[in-house]
Amino acid sequence: MEGAVIMGLGGALFEAIEFADGEITNASLRQYRVPRFLDVPPIEVVLVDRPEVEPAGAGETPIMAVAPALANAIFAATGRRLRDLPLTPQGRLA
C-alpha cells in the first residue's frame, strides 16, 4: 500500500513522457522523473478489519486516490484548479 501511494505521488507530481519533434526526450530512467526518497512524506497505513466485506485489491485504490487528493488540497489552499497531470502550475513539466 505504501508503494502504491508513492507510485500515485509520482504520477500526480512528476511523471510525464516528454516529446520533441515526434521523439521521446526522456526515455531513460536518468531523465524520467520518479519520486525519490526526499520526495516522499511519512506514510501511515491503517488497515481496517472488516471481515464481512470480501477482499479486493489493496494496491489499486491508493494509486487512484493520490492525484485527486493533491489536486483538491491545492484548490483548497490556492483556489486554483489544476486538471492536468503532473500537477504543476503549467500543467506539464517545465
Is residue 56 within 8 Å of 64, Cβ to Cβ?
no
Catalytic residue among 2, 15, 54, 60: 60
Q: Give catalytic status of residue 60 as yes or no.
A: yes
CA angle 17, 22, 92 (to 5 degrees): 35
Amino acid at 33: R
Residue with cell 493520490: 66
Active site residues: 60
